[in-house]
Amino acid sequence: MTARFADLQRPVAEAVTEEFFRRHPDWVDRYGERGRARAVEDAQYHMDFLGGALVAGEPQAFAEYVRWARRVLEARGIAARFLRENLEQIGEALASRLGPARPAVEAVVHAGLLACDESPGSISPPGPEDELAAERRLYSQAILHGQRNAAMGIVLESHRAGHPLLDLYLKILQPAQYEVGRLWECNAITVAEEHMATAITQSVMAQLYPLLPQQQPCYGRLVLTGVQGELHQLGGHMVADVLEARGWEVRFLGTNMPHAGILRVIEEQRPDAVGISTTMLFNLPKVRDLITTIRALPGPQPHRIVVGGAAFRAAPAAFREIGADACGLDLEQAIGIFCGDEGSG
Residue 25 clears pLDDT 80, i.e. is over it: yes
**pLDDT digits over 206-222, tens only?**
999 999 987 788 899 99
- Asked if residue 277 lies in contact with residue 236, where contact means CB atoms within 8 angstroms, the answer is yes
Residue 262: alpha-carbon gap to chain centroid: 28
pLDDT on residue 343: 38
User: What is the pLDDT confidence band of residue 279, given thresholds at 50, 70 and 90?
Assistant: confident
**pLDDT digits over 313-331, tens only?**
877 888 999 999 999 999 9
The predicted model gives 182-190 an average pLDDT of 86
Residue 185 clears pLDDT 80, i.e. is over it: no
Q: Give the residue with greater pLDDT, 129 vs 75.
A: 75
pLDDT on residue 345: 37
Residue 253 clears pLDDT 70, i.e. is over it: yes
**pLDDT digits over 110-138, tens only?**
999 999 998 865 555 554 457 899 999 99
pLDDT on residue 128: 47
pLDDT on residue 344: 38
Q: Give the residue with greater pLDDT, 205 vs 128.
A: 205
User: What is the pLDDT confidence band of residue 342, given thresholds at 50, 70 and 90?
Assistant: very low
Residues whose CB falls within 8 Å of the CB of residue 162, separated by 6 or more in sequence, listed in order: none
The predicted model gives 235-240 an average pLDDT of 95
Residue 196 clears pLDDT 60, i.e. is over it: yes
Is the full-model pTM beyond 0.85?
no
Q: Which domains does the chain have, with CATH numbers?
A: 2-210 (no CATH), 215-338 (3.40.50.280)
Give percent above pLDDT 70 in the chain: 94
pLDDT on residue 341: 52
pLDDT on residue 2: 62
pLDDT on residue 31: 86
Q: Which amino acid is located at 204 in the chain?
A: V
